[in-house]
Amino acid sequence: MSFRLTFGSFAGAAVSAALVVSAPVPAAAQDAADLASAVTALRAISTMRADFVQADANGQRVKGVLTLKRPGRIRFQYEKGVPMLIVSDGSALTFVDYEVRQVQRWPIKSSPLGALLDPSRDVGKYGRVMPTGSDRIVSIEVRDKARPEYGVITLIFTRKGDAPGGLELSSWAALDSQKRRTIVTLSNQQYGLAVPDNAFRYNDPRAPVRR
């Protein structure tokens, strides 16, 4: 399988028409309640594992397994044949391309994924509810207008009683500062798993040692 991916393209996208449809603007009180619920849901996740499908603006799709451990840790393990890895150790996102033996690192806060990973990124402060046309779906757009280089992420939640906080993170769409977009869709979410910290290490292709 041939799939080329840049870190920038991973970290990018405005929400697609498939995720957000035209709908009357909900009441301000409902917006405030939904935003508070989304913040509660994110904070309630200690660990999560899920299958994911990632799609870029050109329609290329790739699958894998996501592992999340808050605060700050995430791993995107791509399917066989995709020689790349994205992992955060709690301080920085690392993009590893094993095919060309390249490693790139960015501070968590400089990525749209900071809304998921950076404890200092206040989703309640920088988020706003977007219309979805469905009572079951909550869409939160997160952007820091004072820091456009951080990009934009739109988090999509589905109301689910047994999910942390009553909302299940089902997908997100990210748009980076270069206007590159990516949509990630989750399935088979599992919560509260025992995840060791070494799950967020990686084999450095530039040297034989493990970091």
Domains, in order of start, for the chain: 7-189 (2.50.20.10)
Q: Which residues neighbour 28 within 8 Å (Cβ) at sequence distance 6 or greater? A: none
In this prediction, residue 154 has a pLDDT band, given cuts at 50, 70 and 90, of very high
pLDDT tens-place string over residues 66-114:
999 988 899 999 999 999 999 998 888 899 999 999 999 888 877 788 8
Q: Is the pLDDT of residue 172 over 70?
A: yes
Q: Which residues neighbour 175 within 8 Å (Cβ) at sequence distance 6 or greater? A: 12, 13, 14, 112, 151, 152, 153, 181
Q: pTM of the predicted model, to two decimals?
A: 0.81
Q: State the virtual CA torsion across 12, 17, 21, 26 in degrees, nearest 10.
A: 10
In this prediction, residue 119 has a pLDDT band, given cuts at 50, 70 and 90, of low
Q: Is the pLDDT of residue 30 over 50?
A: yes
Q: What span, in angstroms and rounded, lies between the C-alpha atoms of 66 and 207?
A: 25
Q: What span, in angstroms and rounded, lies between the C-alpha atoms of 60 and 162?
A: 33
103, 110 contact by CB (below 8 A): no
